[in-house]
Structure 1
Amino acid sequence: MYGRWNAGVRELSDADLDNPPAMGPERFPMENRVLHVNRELIHHGAEISLLRDLYRWQDGAAPHRI
């Protein structure tokens, strides 16, 4: 998913980033949406990683790198 998102953002020109998205009610520059989605991907990715680690350690086993 990140690869597709990143590829799409890379295709945007400076003018595309400076203007509002063509679709939707938002009237702010596209760069605002890009920043928001990047923050969400980082935030939720970190939550998923934490839950994965907690699940792995729930039986009291010592954490180890895989």
Structure 2
Amino acid sequence: MISKAQRQQALIEATASLRLEGLPISCRDDDLYAAAVDGRRVGELRDAVLARVRAELASMSTSATS
């Protein structure tokens, strides 16, 4: 079980990772918040961030080819 402080830190790091990638932070971050609040391990939160990065990059490349 991880503490509330650890969950908050994991969420901060996850959103910072998105900002470093130049991706928008918005209400779509509910998945990151849920992963942190549900007490999932940081690895699962990291996976959520990586999935978001992949999805954003895919949508950017799709919109560029349209």
TM-score (norm 2): 0.45
Q: Which has the higher contact order (CA 8 A, sep 6+)?
A: 2
Q: Which one has a larger percent helix, Structure 1 or Structure 2?
A: 2
TM-score (norm 1): 0.45
Larger radius of gyration: 1
